Chains A and B, each alone.
Chain A
Amino acid sequence: MEVGRLPISASQRGKLISAGYTTLSSLSSLSPSVLAREVNVSDTEAAQILKVASHGSRLDGSEGGCATINGAQTAWDMLHEEEMFPRITTSCVDLDNILGGGINCKEVTEIGGVPGIGKTQLGIQLAVNVQIPVDYGGLGGKAIYIEGSFMVERALQIAEACIEDMSESDGLLRKDFKACQLKMHPNNILENLFYFRVCSYTEQIALTNYLEKFISEHKDVKIVIVDSVTFHFRQDFDDMALRTRLLSGMALKLMKLAKVFSLAVVLLNQVTNKYTEGSFQLTLALGDSWSHSCTNRVILYWNGNERYAYIDKSPSLRSASAPYSVTSKGIRNSASNCKRIKMM
């Protein structure tokens, strides 16, 4: 099939032909970034053209020998894509550093710790930080917050502090940019926070199933926080195999949500005592099979009088721990003088 028959704009068609792409088969093994470079269009336009082209060639029924499997990407493209997505800051520099800049979109991160260590605080901070406008280095997205000990006034407090910090940096850096002045109000932040409350594990699973539809209607959601993912599952299950099945089903759905919609999924987990070899050890709840369900795992713990975060599992981050503190403004850097990042 000819490029000339594709339903694309005339200027795009002209660019393709002058760059030498006259047939669909010549387009089939290209990736958006390469095409964008070659033809001098934007990445999104190139992706669009390729989508139309693959649709056209599918209709044609002729794929040719050089077609790639639908959906496959080269590692180079994946790296390029990863770099395009900014990470969600935690408002604590040390914590951001060990996380490689912040919480990553497209991944499931599990955060666990004893009660009172700051899991909910971190959850609320992330739900607020995801809304930082793109001009200030954030994602300008919305948040979904499921269950937990969510106190509206605390979210308001953290939102106000975040806006204050942004206006402060506004004052420091952009004194002449009156146009970019911050018009955010804490109420806007609350509006962009979708709060769901679940009261049982069946509700939790039903909600996870519904999220796909909800997020496709609200495309600007960039983070889903579940606080806590374990609570409703720790009741008596007569059939433990059922619990494992339900949990893995839920985990798969959440991973799919993260990948398909390019958002971050943060799961807050509790700790429990595991009885191994005659003694009790502190470990994250829900058992061994659940520990495979997340991409990254961060454990929060007390070290003396300080709160620390430790990267327990990650395919790309190094094992390290960093101190942080919980203040009235939310999660912030630790106040101690001798703070340093400990590499393990």
Chain B
Amino acid sequence: MTPAPENLLHRPLTTPKCTLGCPLLDRCLAGGFPCNSITELFAESGCGKTQLCLQLALSAQLPVSLGGLSGSSLYIHTEFPFPSRRLHQLSHAFRSTYPAIFKTDPCDSIFVHAVHSADQLLDILPKMESFLSDPKTHLPVKLIVIDSIAALFRSEFENSPVELKRRSSLFFKISGKLKLLAKRFGLAVVVTNQVVDLIVPEGINGMRIGNLACLYSSGRRVCPALGLAWANCVNSRLFLSRNEEVEKEEKGLVDVDANRVCTRTRRRLHVVFAPHLPEGSCELVITREGVFGVE
């Protein structure tokens, strides 16, 4: 079969994207998570990665006119247990926001699968392909979430050069197959990652990757896990940070006790690198109804 160039004008002139369900967050990402590419979302544990992913799995079911993909999602989780109670809570809130669209339970369109090791993930990828091409659901699968990729790799490999090389080649295999699926079925692939502390000082050729010179979360300097090889496997990278900030004194109130300090947790979503986004960030909060951006 001779290769043929794709006609760029036949496709839509913007890549289809999956909304996050919040216009402020969507604005930071120019519409949402793009299809046909792998987006990585990394953060410390407890920052809200899973929350965002669950919300994404729900908003993927929205029609394209509202920014969704009109599709169901495949949610591969590697950390246990799967937060099904939270998912039901969120889907309840979603249903009440869009009563006309969600006639059936949105959770019916989210397919959850547990994976325990990197080799197992490689094994199920061909099975995923057959699942994607023959969906028994009424909505085709348009979103794949892997939460989290780091958990698959962080315990199995020793720290020797040979093992690390084997680990990197697994990264490329997995992301190569995911990109193939993304292209063939027009899916958005979202992968979450953990962080590790960063100790190395920066030089001219330092390990800076992306728009932010330093990534801070909970007051520590961090960087995404899995290293440089994995960074080359993803198309876009987003960072969720959490920091404690000291609240300013409210006007009119005099604090006699000078030792009392009011702190507030502030969460931000940053664009670390993306081929279609300028650098930017957006503050967000996590409520009962989901994750929402704030001005």
Chain A contacts to B: CB under 8 angstroms = 114-116, 120-121, 144, 149-156, 187, 190-191, 193-200, 203, 206-207, 210, 231-232, 234-236, 270-273, 275, 282, 285, 301-305, 328
Closest CB in chain A relative to B185 CB, distance in Å: 12
A207 to B5, CA, bound (A): 10
The listed residue (A115, A193, A304, A328) touching B231 by CB distance below 8 A is: A115
- Cβ-neighbour of A149 out of B11, B208, B275 (below 8 A): B275
From residue B175, how far is it (CB to closest CB) to chain A in Å?
8
* Cα-based distance from A153 to B32 in the complex (angstroms): 14
User: Which residues of B lie under 8 Å from residue A150 when comparing CB positions?
Assistant: 275
Residues of A contacting B: mostly: mixed
Kindly supply a per-residue 1/0 record for chain B positions 152-183, scoring 1 wherever the CB is within 8 Å of any chain A CB and 0 otherwise: 00000000010000101110110010011001
Sample (26) of A-B pairs whose CB atoms are under 8 Å apart: A114-B228, A115-B210, A115-B232, A116-B210, A149-B235, A151-B34, A152-B12, A153-B13, A190-B8, A191-B8, A191-B9, A193-B8, A194-B5, A197-B6, A199-B176, A199-B179, A207-B3, A236-B173, A270-B232, A271-B228, A271-B232, A272-B229, A272-B232, A275-B161, A282-B205, A302-B208
Which chain A positions have C-beta within 8 A of B256? Answer: none
Q: How far is the CA of A121 from the CA of B227 in the complex (A)?
A: 23
Contacts A116-B210, A232-B176, A302-B208: A152 and B232 contacting too (C-beta < 8 A)?
Answer: no
Point out the residues of chain A lying under 8 angstroms from B84, CB to CB. none
Known contacts A153-B30, A154-B275, A199-B183; can you find 10 more A-B pairs with CB under 8 A?
Answer: A116-B272, A155-B8, A194-B5, A206-B3, A232-B176, A234-B229, A236-B166, A236-B169, A273-B227, A303-B204
Cβ contact of B3, chosen from A200, A203, A270, cutoff 8 A:
A203
Distance to closest chain B CB from A243 (angstroms): 11
Q: Is the CB of B176 within 8 A of A231?
A: yes
Partner of B5, one of A149, A187, A195: A195
Residues of B within 8 A of A (CB): 2-6, 8-9, 11-15, 30, 34, 37, 161, 166, 168-170, 172-173, 176, 179-180, 183, 204-211, 213, 227-229, 231-237, 272-273, 275-276, 278
Tell me what chain B mostly uses at the interface: helix, strand, loop, or mixed: loop
Q: Which chain B residue has the least Cβ–Cβ distance from A148?
A: B275
B279 to chain A, nearest CB (A): 9
B2 contacts across to A, CB distance below 8 A? 210
Cα–Cα distance between A296 and B183 once the two chains are bound (Å) = 32
Set B15, B233, B272: member contacting A151, Cβ < 8 A:
B15
Q: Which residues of A contact B183 (CB under 8 A)?
A: 197, 199
Assuming the contacts A151-B275, A234-B169, A235-B173, asked whether A156 and B3 have C-beta atoms less than 8 A apart, the reply is: no
Most chain B CB neighbours (cut-off 10 Å) among A273, A302, A305: A302
In the bound complex, CA of A14 to CA of B207 (Å): 69
CA distance A236 to B5 in the complex (A): 28
Do the beta carbons of B6 and A200 come within 8 Å of each other? no
B209 contacts across to A, CB distance below 8 A: 114-116
Give the residue name and chain of the B residue nearest to A211 (CB).
B3
Residues of B near A153 (CB, < 8 A) are 13-15, 30, 276
Please give me the 10 A-B residue pairs with the lowest Cβ-Cβ distance, nearest first. A116-B273, A116-B210, A194-B5, A236-B169, A151-B276, A149-B235, A199-B180, A234-B172, A149-B275, A154-B276
Per a CB cutoff under 8 Å, which of B8, B172, B205 touches A195?
Answer: B8
Which residues of chain A come closer than 8 Å to B166, judged between CB atoms?
Answer: 236
- A116, B211: Cβ atoms closer than 8 Å: yes
| Chain A residues closer than 8 Å to B235, beta-carbon distance | 149
Choose among B8, B30, B237, B272 the residue with the greatest number of A CB atoms under 10 Å from its CB. B8
| Shortest CB distance A306–B (Å) | 11
Output the nearest chain B residue to A151 by Cβ-Cβ distance. B276
User: CB-CB < 8 A to A191: which residues of B?
Assistant: 8-9
Question: Would A152 and B3 count as touching, CB distance under 8 A?
Answer: no
Whether B208 contacts A196 by the Cβ 8 Å rule is no
Chain B nearest Cβ from A226, distance in angstroms: 13
Chain B residue at minimal CB-CB distance from A188: B9
Which single residue of chain B is at the shortest CB-CB distance from A153?
B14
* Chain A residue at smallest Cβ distance from B170: A236
Q: How far is the CA of A190 from the CA of B208 in the complex (A)?
A: 33
Which of A115, A196, A328 counts the most chain B CB atoms within 10 A? A115
- Of all chain B residues, the one with the shortest Cβ separation from A327 is B278
Q: Is the CB of B172 within 8 A of A231?
A: yes
Partner of A196, one of B5, B30, B204, B275: B5
- Measured CB to CB, the closest approach of chain B to A227, in angstroms, equals 10
A120–B5 CB distance below 8 A: no
Please determine whether A210 and B3 come into contact, CB atoms closer than 8 angstroms: yes
Residue of A nearest to B4 (CB): A196
Bound-complex Cα distance A150 to B37 (A): 9
Most chain B CB within a 10 A radius of its CB, from A144, A149, A193, A328: A149
When distances are taken between beta carbons in the complex, the residues of chain B under 8 Å from A273 are 227-228
A200-B11 contact, Cβ under 8 Å, with A149-B235, A153-B276, A194-B5: no
Asked if residues A302 and B15 are in contact (CB atoms below 8 Å), the reply is: no
CA distance A121 to B11 in the complex (A): 21
A187→B237 contact, CB < 8 A: no
Q: Which residue of B lies closest to A218 (CB)?
A: B5
Query: Using Cβ atoms and an 8 Å threshold, which residues of chain A touch B37?
Result: 149, 151
Chain A, residue nearest B174 (CB):
A235
Contacts A191-B8, A195-B6; A152 near B14 (Cβ below 8 A):
yes
Q: Who on chain B is nearest to A275 by CB?
A: B161
Determine the chain A residues whose CB is within 8 A of the CB of B206 once the complex forms: 302
- Please name the residue on chain B nearest to A198 by beta carbon: B3
